[in-house]
Amino acid sequence: MNNSTPNPSGSGAELEAGTITRLFRLGLSGPRRPVDALIDRLGAPDSEAWLERAMERAPQVGGADPAGAMLRGADTDTLSRIKSTGKKLLADAGTEDHRLTGLALYFFAVASALAHHDTVICSRTREELHPVLLDLAAVCPARWAELCTNAAANASGER
Amino acid sequence: MAKEDLFPATRSTWIGDQLRRDDTGRAEVNRHVMTVYALPLRAYFLGTSERWLGDADDIVQGFFADRLARDDFFAAWQQSGMPLRRWLMNAFCFYLKEQRRRHRRDNRGSALGDDPIAFCGDPDRAIDRAFVASLVQRAMDLTREGCEKDGMDDHWRVFEEHHCRARPYADVATDLGIDAARAAVMARTATRRFRMTLRDLLARDSAASEGGEDIDDQIRALVEALA
């Protein structure tokens, strides 16, 4: 076989053997991460309504509504407390819905701190957070997608 | 023989499910096999001592026309437990031998023997290389079609420019009038679709249904074998 293969996109270009291998590697899914359950839920058609309900029933932190605090970028102390609330909700969750709400609070608080303050408020590195934030941005409703997109850009140092 | 007898329902694979369905399912399977496996069989044919039999594309299409019409062809494959690409390669070998005998009958004066088919190099490796290239091509076609159908043409464009032409997101973003961060997210969405399509196509090569980890193992093994 030649080292190149006709590109199916119809552009006339050819795919080199190295490109084929790289594209083939994209098929690897790797071990399932905790955030994947949230990504799957946010990828469902009713995700906007679900996320709105989840944020409504999330416990307030210091009198602040967590969704508003995360979207507008509250101070990092508040965001850290929202993150801890999410973590606790995740640990104590009696239902899958509560677990997912906990995950949403945790990751959106982390995203908010990165997007608004360029600060990491969890133990994960920026490199670890970058793909997670891109995945979240790809499935979130618009306002949250923007938050995660900006956070991903800061995590990768693109901004 | 009833379709259920040919394909036990306990072995739920895409090909099995399609064949149990109806004639449309059968046509769908044949289309899939001809699209994905023509390139590997062509690569195999071009490596054999039987290249003299004719044009590679004609020989491969002749093989498909002959074998895919047989009712029990896929049932026999599933019972073998072999990856479909290996099963097809074996069946193709028999087909080539039949073609050689036919030529011998048609040209009585020639001194062609009935030797085993010789291959220049490692046939399994040649088949695997071409199989991976063909899978990637098919997955790209299907993902692009899906993106276009859902109005996500730009998502596909970012994916293709970044992953196939190695262009940075910032450059592609400039072309599209968006920022680089948004381009990265769009590529992620298209990548997710591409991954699911590729994995689905690869799963169809197995005679038994496989879990996600098995597919990862197969991808790693094929990448290693091609290195």
pLDDT band at B4 (very low <50, low <70, confident <90, very high): very low
Name which of A27, A137, A159 is nearest B185 (Cβ-Cβ): A137
Residues in B 146-205 with any Cβ partner in A closer than 8 A? 160, 163-166, 169-170, 179-182, 184-186, 188-189, 191-192, 194-195, 198-199, 202
Interface probe with A: pick from B136, B144, B193, B214, most Cβ of A within 10 Å: B136
Tens of pLDDT along A104-117? 999 999 999 999 99
What are B106-130's pLDDT values in tens digits? 876 555 556 778 888 889 999 999 9
pLDDT at B11: 54
Residue A34 pLDDT > 80 = yes
Q: What share of chain B is helix, strand, coil (3-state, %, to 5)?
A: 75, 0, 25
* The predicted structure's pLDDT at residue A64: 82
A131 closest CA partner among B92, B156, B191: B191
> Between chains, do A30 and B165 touch, taking CB under 8 Å as contact?
no
Mutation site, B157, B185, B191, interface A, largest A CB count within 10 A: B185
Q: Would you state the pLDDT for residue B161?
A: 96
pLDDT value for A31: 83
pLDDT beyond 50 at A29: yes
User: For position B111, what pLDDT does the model report?
Assistant: 53
pLDDT score for B211: 67
